[in-house]
Amino acid sequence: MQAASRSSFQPAEAGAILAGTLAACGAAGALAGWAAGHTGYGILGGVCAGIPLGVFAVYRRFKGYFS
């Protein structure tokens, strides 16, 4: 039996995951803010929530590389 190969870290993929998560959270925040009557605050809240969620998503995708 061969040992499982270590996954390679791809910075472009990590950046795309981070940007995509940030954009999705910003869009969800904009929608919630629009429903509440304050679109700008919704976008701000979504982006603030999206930063740690994006970092977590990148960590989950590349957790074999970091350990």
Give the pLDDT confidence score for residue 18 in this predicted structure: 97
pTM of the model: 0.81
Residue 53 counted as domain residue: yes
Q: How many domains does the chain divide into? A: 1
Please give, one letter per residue, the 3-state secondary structure of the chain: CCCCCCCCCCHHHHHHHHHHHHHHHHHHHHHHHHHHCCHHHHHHHHHHHHHHHHHHHHHHHCHHHHC
Task: Classify residue 8: in a domain, yes or no.
Answer: no
Domain assignment of residue 15, yes or no: no
Residue 13 lies in a domain: no
Per-residue pLDDT reduced to its tens digit, 25-59: 999 999 999 999 999 999 999 999 999 999 999 99
Domain that holds residue 34: 27-66
Q: Per-residue pLDDT for 3 more than 60?
A: no
